[in-house]
Structure 1
Amino acid sequence: MAQPAYADWKDTLNSGLDKAKELVNSSDSITLDLAPASKEIKPTVTEESVVEHWESLNKRFSKIYEIKEKQEDAPKQSGFLKKGKDKYQDDINELLGQIFETISDEDLEDYKKQLIKNADYRKEQLSDLSKLKENYRFSFDADDKEKIQNNILKLEEKIAYTDAKKSEIIVAVQNRLSDFGTYVTEEQVEALLIKVNADDILSMTTIFPIISEFANYLGQVTQDTGEDLEAAKKYYGMYVMLLELQLFIQDQYINKLDYTFIPQINELRKSNVKLIEDTKRLVRKAKGNNKNVYQNNLDNQRFTLKAVDLYKKQLQSDLKKIKNAKYRLKEDYLVAVNTYKTVDLSFNVANLINENSKLFDDVMNLQAPDLISFENEKMKEEFEKLTAQMQ
Structure 2
Amino acid sequence: MNKLWLILLSFTIINYSYANEDNWWDISTKAVVNLWSTTSTTEFAEIWENITPKLNEVLELEQQAENTPNSVWLGLGTDKEDLNEEINLLLDEAVEILSVSNINNIRQAIRAEDDRIREMKQDIAKYHQAQITAPVDSTWHTTVADYDLKIKQIYELIEQSKTKITKLKTQFAQELSNKGLSISTEQLEVLLSSVVGDDITQSSIVYDNIKQISQQLMSLTEKSGEDINISQRYYGMYTVLLKILLHMQQSFIAKLDYQYLPKIANIIIEVKNINVTTGNLLRSIDEKTHRKHLLANLQAQNFTLQTAKLYKKHLVKQRYKIVQAIKKTSQDLQIAQNTYKTVR
Alignment-mate amino acid for residue 334 of structure 1: Q
Alignment-mate amino acid for residue 335 of structure 1: I
Residues 155-195 of structure 1: CA deviation (Å, up to 9, x unaligned) = 43332222212222222322333344433234333322222
Aligned to 1:267: 266
Residues 122-158 of structure 1: CA deviation (Å, up to 9, x unaligned) = 2233334445566779999699776665555444333
Cα distance 1:181–1:48, how it changes in 2: closer, same or farther (>3 A)? farther
Aligned to 1:330: 330
Query: Could you tell me whether the CA contact under 8 Å between 1:170 and 1:186 is conserved in 2?
Result: no
Q: Distance in 2 between matches of 1:113 and 1:343?
A: 42
2:167 equivalent to 1:172? no
Give 1:249-288 correspondences, 5 Å limit. 249-287=248-286, 288=288
Alpha-carbon deviation of 1:101? Answer: 1.5
Cα distance 1:208–1:78, how it changes in 2: closer, same or farther (>3 A)? farther
Cα distance 1:65–1:130, how it changes in 2: closer, same or farther (>3 A)? closer
TM-score by length of structure 1 reads 0.69
TM-score by length of structure 2 reads 0.77
Cα distance 1:140–1:265, how it changes in 2: closer, same or farther (>3 A)? same
Q: Distance in 1 between matches of 2:343 and 2:144?
A: 86
2:309 equivalent to 1:309? yes
Aligned to 1:88: 83
Alpha-carbon deviation of 1:331? Answer: 0.9
Cα distance 1:327–1:289, how it changes in 2: closer, same or farther (>3 A)? same
Alignment-mate amino acid for residue 249 of structure 1: M
Alpha-carbon deviation of 1:48? Answer: 4.2
Aligned to 1:221: 220
Query: Could you tell me whether the CA contact under 8 Å between 1:171 and 1:186 is conserved in 2?
Result: no
Aligned to 1:119: 114
Alignment-mate amino acid for residue 123 of structure 1: R
Query: Could you tell me whether the CA contact under 8 Å between 1:47 and 1:213 is conserved in 2?
Result: no
Structure number with higher relative contact order (C-alpha < 8 Å, ≥ 6 residues apart)? 2
Aligned to 1:19: none
Query: Could you tell me whether the CA contact under 8 Å between 2:256 and 2:319 is conserved in 1?
Result: yes
Aligned to 1:58: 52
Larger CA deviation: 161-170 vs 112-121: 112-121
Q: Distance in 2 between matches of 1:124 and 1:227?
A: 58
- SS for the counterpart of 1:342 is helix
Query: Could you tell me whether the CA contact under 8 Å between 1:118 and 1:162 is conserved in 2?
Result: yes
Aligned to 2:340: 340
Q: Distance in 1 between matches of 2:187 and 2:39?
A: 22
Q: Distance in 1 between matches of 2:239 and 2:147?
A: 66
Q: Distance in 1 between matches of 2:229 and 2:150?
A: 74
Cα distance 1:286–1:332, how it changes in 2: closer, same or farther (>3 A)? same
Q: Distance in 2 between matches of 1:243 and 1:100?
A: 11
Give 1:340-359 correspondences, 5 Å limit. 340-343=340-343
Q: 1:73 aligns with which of 67, 73, 76?
A: 67
Query: Could you tell me whether the CA contact under 8 Å between 1:78 and 1:85 is conserved in 2?
Result: no
- SS for the counterpart of 2:77 is coil
Residues 326-355 of structure 1: CA deviation (Å, up to 9, x unaligned) = 1011012111111221249xxxxxxxxxxx
Alpha-carbon deviation of 1:92? Answer: 0.9
Q: Distance in 2 between matches of 1:227 and 1:101?
A: 31
Taking only aligned residues, the RMSD between alpha carbons, in angstroms, comes to: 3.0
Q: Aligned residues: percent identity?
A: 27
Residues 69-106 of structure 1: CA deviation (Å, up to 9, x unaligned) = 22001122454223221210111111121122122225
Cα distance 1:184–1:83, how it changes in 2: closer, same or farther (>3 A)? same
- Which blocks of at least 5 consecutive residues in structure 2 are unaligned? 1-32
Aligned to 1:368: none
- Which blocks of at least 5 consecutive residues in structure 1 are unaligned? 1-33, 35-41, 345-391
Alpha-carbon deviation of 1:304? Answer: 0.8
Size of the aligned set, in residue pairs, is 304
Residues 346-377 of structure 1: CA deviation (Å, up to 9, x unaligned) = xxxxxxxxxxxxxxxxxxxxxxxxxxxxxxxx
Cα distance 1:94–1:217, how it changes in 2: closer, same or farther (>3 A)? same
Aligned to 2:17: none
Query: Could you tell me whether the CA contact under 8 Å between 1:182 and 1:205 is conserved in 2?
Result: no
Aligned to 1:207: 206
Q: Distance in 2 between matches of 1:76 and 1:234?
A: 26
Query: Could you tell me whether the CA contact under 8 Å between 1:46 and 1:209 is conserved in 2?
Result: no
2:185 equivalent to 1:190? no
Cα distance 1:303–1:82, how it changes in 2: closer, same or farther (>3 A)? same
Residues 199-241 of structure 1: CA deviation (Å, up to 9, x unaligned) = 2221111111110011112222333445645543432222222
Larger CA deviation: 214-223 vs 139-148: 139-148
Cα distance 1:343–1:103, how it changes in 2: closer, same or farther (>3 A)? closer
Q: Distance in 1 between matches of 2:299 and 2:215?
A: 55
